[in-house]
């Protein structure tokens, strides 16, 4: 598959793709789009940054536009669930870009902002609704939204839905949907709990996978630096000095840890911003906007907040704290080496984190090279 036109997508979608500069489908797009167009349930496994959103959005938009139907008030025809506000916003932006010439209506809902504007947006019915599970259930409870007209359900980043405790809400939502819907589940990793969820939601699904679930992007140079916990802040400052002018994404395990890192960097003349669950939506958007624009070259984040960080040009990922869930490591370092670029991932490993490193190396079936302190 060398061209999007060979899928049989509508001219309106092909025009939008040309505007976006899309020419050649990625592997996940080449495998998934024909299956979704054919009406199959799909279980897709691919790393972050591989084009999953277009893989499900394009065939959904083609189907909705071709039918000529219009949504009833307070309903949606396609429902896309995402685990975080940032990821939901990113997906909605992409879907709107693809749908710009179709006349289809796209709405977004997530927590942390007033509900009234969201309720107004869906009052007349929308074709595509992108939402986080909790806020979606709020609107259903308020009777501002019905789910009995959903034709297609998408679960994106399903493994992270599990991490955030969304499995029960997802099952509640699924119980409200028509049984004849099409269901698409996309994830970067497939732990047993997600496999169980998939078996309960998908009907005879087609499985598409473009990379082993434990394999990070090949263009990422990975290193580990063994350092005492008390020396991590100075080690981070040294790494940032060596990183030069590129964008660096720093991961901490906790929200307070992220704030402490930013405070230390600021005290040493290194501008940085934090993004985590305690920040308001406005603060998160401003921090991400400054990072995306290159105004701030260091963004410190927790795992939960980072799921919507889709920024080209992240040259370095630094694990200030190693994650205690090895799959999270794969997600973290996947924030670099996007859109065909290369990247560097460096982990600061304290003595008490060596078991986490062993779990990561076991998952990936590699030995992370040791970086010598400068």
Predicted confidence at residue 217, as pLDDT, reads 60
374: pLDDT strictly greater than 60? no
Distances (CA, A) of 38 to 31, 147, 229: 12, 23, 53
Predicted confidence at residue 160, as pLDDT, reads 78
The dihedrals phi and psi of 308, each to the nearest 5 degrees, come to: -110, 10
Question: Do residue 165 and residue 282 come from a single domain?
Answer: no
Q: Any bridge partners for residue 274, and if so which?
A: 300
Q: How far is CA 210 from the centre of its chain?
A: 17
- Cα(358)–Cα(158) distance, rounded to whole angstroms? 25
Predicted confidence at residue 340, as pLDDT, reads 66
The closest alpha carbon to 347, from 361, 334, 357, belongs to: 357
Q: Is residue 158 part of a domain?
A: yes
Going by C-beta distance under 8 Å and a sequence separation of 6 or more, which residues neighbour residue 294?
247, 313
Q: What's the predicted TM-score (pTM) here? A: 0.69
Q: Is residue 64 part of a domain?
A: yes
* Residue 319 belongs to domain spanning: 220-364
At 25-60, the pLDDT tens digits run 988 999 999 999 999 999 998 766 678 899 999 999
Helix (H) or strand (E) run with residue 147 in it: none
Which of 16-20, 205-209, 304-308, 335-339 comes out lowest in average pLDDT? 304-308
Pick from 179, 209, 239: which residue ends a domain? 209
Predicted confidence at residue 280, as pLDDT, reads 77
DSSP state of 275: E
Predicted confidence at residue 236, as pLDDT, reads 96
Q: Is residue 334 part of a domain?
A: yes
Q: What percent of the chain has pLDDT over 90?
A: 59
Per the CB < 8 A criterion, the answer to whether 79 and 145 are in contact is no
Question: Do residue 20 and residue 169 come from a single domain?
Answer: yes
Q: Is residue 194 part of a domain?
A: yes
Rg (CA), the chain: 21
- Cα(93)–Cα(57) distance, rounded to whole angstroms? 11
At 3-14, the pLDDT tens digits run 898 999 999 999
Question: Do residue 53 and residue 75 come from a single domain?
Answer: yes
The SS3 assignment for 186 reads: strand
pLDDT tier for residue 99 given thresholds of 50, 70 and 90:
very high
pLDDT tier for residue 192 given thresholds of 50, 70 and 90:
confident
Average pLDDT over residues 140-148: 97
Helix and strand counts by DSSP (H, E) for the chain: 15, 13
How many separate domains does the chain show?
Answer: 2
Q: What percent of the chain has pLDDT over 70?
A: 93
Question: Do residue 280 and residue 315 come from a single domain?
Answer: yes
Q: Is residue 372 part of a domain?
A: no
At 315-343, the pLDDT tens digits run 999 999 999 878 788 878 888 877 667 88
Question: Do residue 73 and residue 136 come from a single domain?
Answer: yes
Average pLDDT over residues 232-259: 91
Q: Is residue 371 part of a domain?
A: no
DSSP for 325-350 reads SHHHHHHHHTTSS-TT--EEEEEEE-
Position with higher pLDDT, 359 vs 210: 359
Read off the CATH number of the domain in which 186 is found: 3.40.50.300
Question: Do residue 182 and residue 37 come from a single domain?
Answer: yes
């Amino acid at each position: 598959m060398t061209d999007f036109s060979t899928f049989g997508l509508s001219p309106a979608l092909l025009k939008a793709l040309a505007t976006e500069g899309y020419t050649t489908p990625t592997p996940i797009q080449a495998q998934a789009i024909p299956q979704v167009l054919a009406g199959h349930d799909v279980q897709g496994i691919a790393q972050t940054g591989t084009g999953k959103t277009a893989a499900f959005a394009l065939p959904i938009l083609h189907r909705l536009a071709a039918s000529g139907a219009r949504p009833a008030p307070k309903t949606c025809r396609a429902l896309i669930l995402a685990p975080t506000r940032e990821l939901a916003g990113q997906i909605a932006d992409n879907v709107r870009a693809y749908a710009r010439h179709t006349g289809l209506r796209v709405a977004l809902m997530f927590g942390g902002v007033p509900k009234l504007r969201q309720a107004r947006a869906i009052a007349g019915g929308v074709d595509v609704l992108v939402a986080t599970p909790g806020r979606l259930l709020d609107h259903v409870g308020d009777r501002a939204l019905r789910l009995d007209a959903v034709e297609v359900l998408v679960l994106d980043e399903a493994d992270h839905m599990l991490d955030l405790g969304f499995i029960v809400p997802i099952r509640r939502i699924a119980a409200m949907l028509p049984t004849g819907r099409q269901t698409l589940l996309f994830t970067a990793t497939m732990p047993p709990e997600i496999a169980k969820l998939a078996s309960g939601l998908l009907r005879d699904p087609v499985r598409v996978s473009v990379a082993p679930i434990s394999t990070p992007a090949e263009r990422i140079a990975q290193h580990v630096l063994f350092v005492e916990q008390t020396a991590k802040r100075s080690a981070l400052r040294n790494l940032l000095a060596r990183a030069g002018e590129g964008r660096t994404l720093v991961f901490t395990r906790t929200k307070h840890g992220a704030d402490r890192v930013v405070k230390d960097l600021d005290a040493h003349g290194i501008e940085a911003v934090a993004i985590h669950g305690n920040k308001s939506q406005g603060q998160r958007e401003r921090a991400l906007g400054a990072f995306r624009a290159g105004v701030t070259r260091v963004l410190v984040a927790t795992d939960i907040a980072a799921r919507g960080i889709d920024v080209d040009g992240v040259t370095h990922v630094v694990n200030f704290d190693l994650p205690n869930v090895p799959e999270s490591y794969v997600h973290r370092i996947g924030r670099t080496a996007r859109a065909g670029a290369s990247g560097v991932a460096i982990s600061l490993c304290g003595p008490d984190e060596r078991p986490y490193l062993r779990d990561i190396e076991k998952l990936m079936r590699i030995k992370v090279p040791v970086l010598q302190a400068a």
